[in-house]
Amino acid sequence: MRNAYVPLLCLTLLALVPTTGSSQDKKNPVLGRWTITAVYDQYENGDKKDNWGGGVAGEILFTDDGHFSQMIIGKADAASKSPDPRKPDAPIVAYYGSYRIDDSGNKIDAKIEHASYSPRAGTDTGWTVSGAGESFTLVGTPRKDQYGMFTPNLQIKRAGK
């Protein structure tokens, strides 16, 4: 008779074991390290441009304590070469700061602490998140360059996958 309770006890204990996905994962689908696989800018006039000239590489990291870092590096440009190793010879966007994600997991609000383009330091930014699983698109907040107003789009996949 005592052995009849063993399966019931095992099922009860199994129900108490956490599953592989936590509530934090569901609330924050971008938590972790991501490889940037493509970048393009969507302009207000409908133009979609790769201002990086192809060959872009980079990563974006979202930590569980509310910090992020992003680095995007384009192809080297011979005209930008310098003997100073602190001066990049490729287009670069790099910054870090703090972030929070809304309860739906679809909107990230962030504060840039420091940036490779100094006017971005101390500013607010954000992304709308679309996709699922191991691949997402992050659509950034609108900004302006020499061509007009645009929204940057980062296509990312989970690093190491």
Whether residue 34 contacts residue 158, with contact meaning beta carbons closer than 8 Å, is answered with yes
Residue 64, in any domain of the structure: yes
For 6-29, the pLDDT digits (tens) are 434 333 333 443 333 333 356 899
Q: What is the pLDDT of residue 25?
A: 58
State yes or no: pLDDT of 34 exceeds 80.
yes
Residues of the chain with pLDDT > 70, as a percent, come to: 83
Task: Please indicate whether residue 9 or residue 156 has the higher confidence score (pLDDT).
Answer: 156
Q: What is the pLDDT of residue 20?
A: 34
Q: Is residue 129 domain-resident? A: yes
- Which residues constitute the domain of residue 89? 22-158
DSSP string, 15-36: HHSPPSS-HHHHH-TT-EEEEE
pTM to 2 decimal places: 0.80
Q: How many domains does the chain have?
A: 1
DSSP state of 12: H
Q: What are phi and psi of 149, to 5 degrees?
A: -80, 140
**Which helix or strand (DSSP H or E) is residue 135 part of?**
strand 135-140
Q: Is residue 122 part of a domain?
A: yes
Q: Is residue 119 part of a domain?
A: yes
Model confidence pLDDT, tens digit, residues 64-109: 999 999 999 999 999 999 999 999 999 999 999 999 999 988 999 9
Q: pLDDT grade, residue 38 (50/70/90)?
A: very high
Within a domain: 1: no
Pairing of strands 107-115, 92-101: antiparallel
Specify the pLDDT at position 55: 87
Residue 115 in domain: yes
Tokens 């870092």 belong to: 69
Q: How many other C-beta atoms can be found within 10 angstroms of the C-beta atom of residue 20?
A: 5
CATH number for 112: 2.40.128.280
In a domain, 118, yes or no: yes
Is 13 among the domain residues? no
* 3-state SS assignment for residue 2: helix
